[in-house]
Amino acid sequence: MKPKLTLEILKAEARAFAGLESAHREPSLYGVTDGKAIGTYFEQKFRSYLREKYDFEEGSSASGIDFPELEVDIKVTSIRQPQSSCPFKSARQKIYGLGYSLLVFVYEKTDDPQTATGNLNVLHVIFVSKERTADFQMTTGLRRILENEGNRDDIMAFIEERRLPIDEIEATAIADEILSNPPEVGYLTISSALQWRLQYGRVIEKAGLVVGVERLR
């Protein structure tokens, strides 16, 4: 019987795997510049590395995240432009977070023409707890309004300025919720599109310095 994968084991193994992968030279990555292809390679290799040692529920398209039992999704991104996309579920995610934690691997890719191999040097491994996965400007702006004795009208005006994709009825409901349940400060930059685009520059800066954003490597 393999041991059950826990959150603490996942974090430790993410750190260990990053070290192994940083030292590895991979022929199939030589000349590859497509970030999605690199991310798929890395995620599949990490999952098979874990599968050999631990028992865990695999993510599916229905759950939408890699480790549904642990409520964690993997994100793999280049240091050149540390960002990725994720499914849009509701506008509330920008205020209250994605609803799951992120395990972010940030790599720098180099190619070696002599050996015809690619190398992914993993510069950062960061765990962002689900409570900190909202948008930084949105959450800090809302908290500032509340600290300044803001009311429902102030919050709705701020939401409108930020062009959240919601109608007036939903905006009113969210404003009331914010008054009774102020959001935690998030550390992602979330751009609205057909999918959310998550940007990790601030997460890299703040890792290890704020609660809920852990630097694992």
Tell me: do 57 and 140 sit in the same domain.
Answer: no
Tell me: do 111 and 32 sit in the same domain.
Answer: yes
Tokens of 208: 């290890």
Tell me the residue range of the domain where 29 lies.
Answer: 7-83+99-131+200-215
Q: Cα separation of 92 and 89, whole Å?
A: 8
Q: Cα separation of 85 and 100, whole Å?
A: 14
Tell me: do 57 and 127 sit in the same domain.
Answer: yes
Strand 196-199 relative to strand 189-191, pairing: antiparallel
Tell me: do 79 and 163 sit in the same domain.
Answer: no
pLDDT of residue 61: 62
The 10s digit of each residue's pLDDT in 67-116 is: 999 999 999 999 999 999 888 888 899 999 999 999 999 999 999 999 99
pLDDT of residue 86: 87
Where the chain has pLDDT below 50, the residues are none
pLDDT of residue 62: 63
Tell me: do 25 and 124 sit in the same domain.
Answer: yes
Number of domains comprising the chain: 2
Does pTM top 0.85 for this prediction?
Answer: yes
- Residue 181 — φ and ψ, nearest 5°? -140, 80
